[in-house]
Amino acid sequence: MQNPGAYCLGSLVHNCEVTRRLSDFGIRTAESVDKLPDGAAVIIRSHGESRSVLARLRQKKCTIIDATCPNVEHIHRIAEETSAQGRTLVIFGDKTHAEVIATCGWAKNSVVCGNCEEIPDFLRDLDLAVVSQTTENAADVKKFFKNIKKRCTNVVFYDTICSATAERQDEAAKLSRETDAVVVVGDRTSSNANKLAGICAALNPNVQFVSNASELVLTRLPQDGKAHEALIGLTAGASVPERLIEEVKKSMETKDTAINEALTASAETAELADTQAPDADADVAVDSSDADTDAAADSSAADADAAVDSSDTDTDAAEDNFDELLNENFKTLRTGEKVRGTVTSVNSTEVTVELGTKQSGYIPAHELSDGSLSPEEIVKVGDVIEAFVTRVNDVEGVITLSKKRLDANKNWDGIEVAADTREVLEGIVVDENKGGVVVLVKGCRVFVPASQSGLPRDTPMAQLLRQKVKLRITEANKAKRRIVGSIRSVANELRRAKAEKIWSEIEVGKVYQGIVKTLTAFGAFVDIGGVDGMAHISTLSWERVRRPSDVLKEGDSISVYVIEFDRETKKIALGYRKLDENPWLKFTEQFREGNIVDVKVNKIVLFGAFAEIIPRVDGLIHISQISDSRIDSLRDVLKEGDELKARIMRIDYEKQRVSLSIRALDEPWNGDPSEADESAERADSER
């Protein structure tokens, strides 16, 4: 079968020279997926592609070589995550640019704005996530963010300007202020090169934007009498090959030489004109000076030859030193290499590191640590930091680094020791899937199967995310880079230790802080720290409770006390209602036998009426204690809701019962409750 060849989907970078050189190497450019043959090797350009384009490439069984810039990939992740949160993605950038088109393909709903005037009114009440094209001007992005914040209510901003681009723009601005002219090298189709040219033009009146040395207009460079003192700045877009920059630089250096030679020739011509005269004496003077002039010329020539020989040697040495210095400062790095650098900037999303190379190094926040701390809490500007190189992008001029992977490599031996010694380790849950969760421990990713998570079956693993957990390593295979752990093992061990402690110290009346685990029709099971106890429905409240769920819900943290326990059967009866809120205790503290109280009739029965004395304490008014006259029907005398006065005839502290009398209100109290006792006994027999 014939090899379909290699293709780039669109221009790899926005530079015609690079595109031509790729073509020379046999890498063709296809403008759409439809124009690609099935099974072709396809390079995804630095601007990235949408999710749908990648899916179509897989359908065509293409081999995908992903050269998407890490900064662009970061925006794709933001688009994907914020869309899942229900936010609309707002992109500040050029809607026709390949990067912006690709980013839109990772969001469910997106809007592209090229300036503040393009912000649509319908965004006002939506939840928004705002990003910018990586090559946008920082000042323009700041202005756009500020403007949309004023007009929309719920906005989350993400700083997505490429750090290398931002630094290049800052340097270009500084260069423009300090020089007499600026030459910007870049392709007309390159967004970041156009931005550089615009920044320079705003600060310097003499700016040339060229794609190669042939477009450089040398006459526009400073050419006055002080040309040798003029300062000319040179900058270039990210996608410009170094070869083109060097060609432009050499053309500028050649122009400087030509200017100096022209000035020297002009001065000699003027001097010669001053010495010429129309008289014989002058002719004689000129003739007599011929010999001296010839001798001087010969001497000068010899001196010049010697000077040239000397200068050649010095120049060769200088060029050698310059080449060494250039190679040292522009060294390249390889993926997997360990590097050391100095932190130059820190923000919430990344850390920029100076590596002494032509590319800028940066560590994304998720490659700096386990995520429990922000980058600002881990490093500061000026810190020396070590990291692994995870990706080198010469086109965009950036090197992606990972401190987390370096830490993981350093800590691998410790993980193996922990597996052998069954040491309990601590980590942060950073990811979840159907099979379990991933815990970051000392920079290493430890997989914990769902069965070892400590959660009940079919419980969503997501509730463990960002939680700090303790676990034990059960498998550490360095060859396969596989680490497996168990949270349940440690949790069960801790629970057993807590249970032993509780059973050794438990006593009636002791108070525990517990968690409601399960609700049933007859009560609630409460975990008091390693042991489950039952709080019966009758002990949940001093008021009547129809269902336990009327008082509690699963997961509630509650204070309970021990009513009784059995060490042999491992059963504990708990109470939830507060002892100091016991209405019977309040009643007995306030009232005595013989007191006259205000009551409210709650219920009428055949043998009398129950009346509320205080909330949750009722007394019985026996039918014989209502009136001296015979009563055929209680409802002819009383009805529920009646408020009246009654005398407390008897208090049964053991059975927690109160006997009341209306008939005894007009009689003097002699402290004899015998009649009330007889009424109470009759009531007990009638109940």
Give the end of a domain, one of 539, 556, 581: 581
Residue 600, H or E segment: strand 596-605
- Any domain includes 309: no
Measured CA to CA, the distance from residue 393 to residue 344 in angstroms comes to 19
What are the start-end ranges of the H helices in 9-69? 16-24, 51-59
**CATH code (residue 31):** 3.40.50.11270
The Cα–Cα gap between 263 and 227 comes to: 9
Classify burial at 536, counting beta carbons within 10 Å of its beta carbon; exposed 0-12, middle 13-18, buried 19 or more: middle
Tell whether 281 is covered by a domain: no
Looking at the predicted structure, is the pLDDT value of residue 465 above 60? yes
pLDDT score recorded for residue 580: 65
pTM greater than 0.75 (yes/no): no
What pLDDT was estimated at residue 398? Answer: 77
Per-residue pLDDT band at 679 (split at 50, 70, 90): low
Burial environment of residue 271 by CB neighbours within 10 A (0 to 12, 13 to 18, 19 or more): exposed
Q: Report which of 413, 388, 389 is spatially closest to residue 483, judged by C-alpha positions.
A: 413
Q: What are the residue numbers of the active site?
A: 99
Are residues 63 and 75 both part of a single domain?
Answer: no
Domain span including residue 601: 583-686
3-state SS, residue 55 = helix
Query: Same domain for 589 and 681?
Result: yes
Say which residue, 648 or 334, is predicted with more confidence: 648
- Residue 554 in domain: yes
The DSSP result for 153-193, as a single string, is: SEEEE---S-HHHHHHHHHHHHHHHHSSEEEEE--TT-HHH
Using the predicted structure, report yes or no on whether residue 332 has a pLDDT greater than 70: no
**Three-class secondary structure of residue 17 per DSSP:** helix
- What pLDDT is stored for residue 687 in this prediction? 53
Q: What is the Cα–Cα distance from 522 to 576, expressed in whole angstroms?
A: 14
Same domain as 477, residue 429: yes
Kindly report, residue by residue over 577-603, the tens digit of the pLDDT: 776 677 888 888 889 998 999 999 999
By the 8 A CB rule, do 482 and 447 touch?
A: yes
pLDDT for the residue 355: 85
For every residue of 209-269, DSSP letters joined together read EESSGGG--GGGS--STTGGG--EEEEE-TT--HHHHHHHHHHHHHHHHHHHHHHHHHHHH
Residue 83 and residue 152 in one domain? yes
- 307 is written with which tokens? 């000077």
| Residue whose pair of structure tokens reads 């016991």 in the numeric block | 582
DSSP state of 647: E
Residues 6 or more apart whose CB falls under 8 angstroms from that of 648 comprise 591, 592, 593, 594, 595, 596, 597, 613, 619, 658, 659, 660
**Of 136, 161, 186, which marks where a domain is finished?**
161
555 & 649 share domain? no
User: Poorest-confidence range of 207-221, 334-348, 395-409, 552-566?
Assistant: 395-409
Based on the structure, what is the number of domains in the chain?
A: 5
The C-alpha atoms of residue 2 and residue 60 are separated, in whole angstroms, by: 16
- CA torsion 196→201→202→203, rounded to 10°? 100
Average pLDDT, the chain: 79
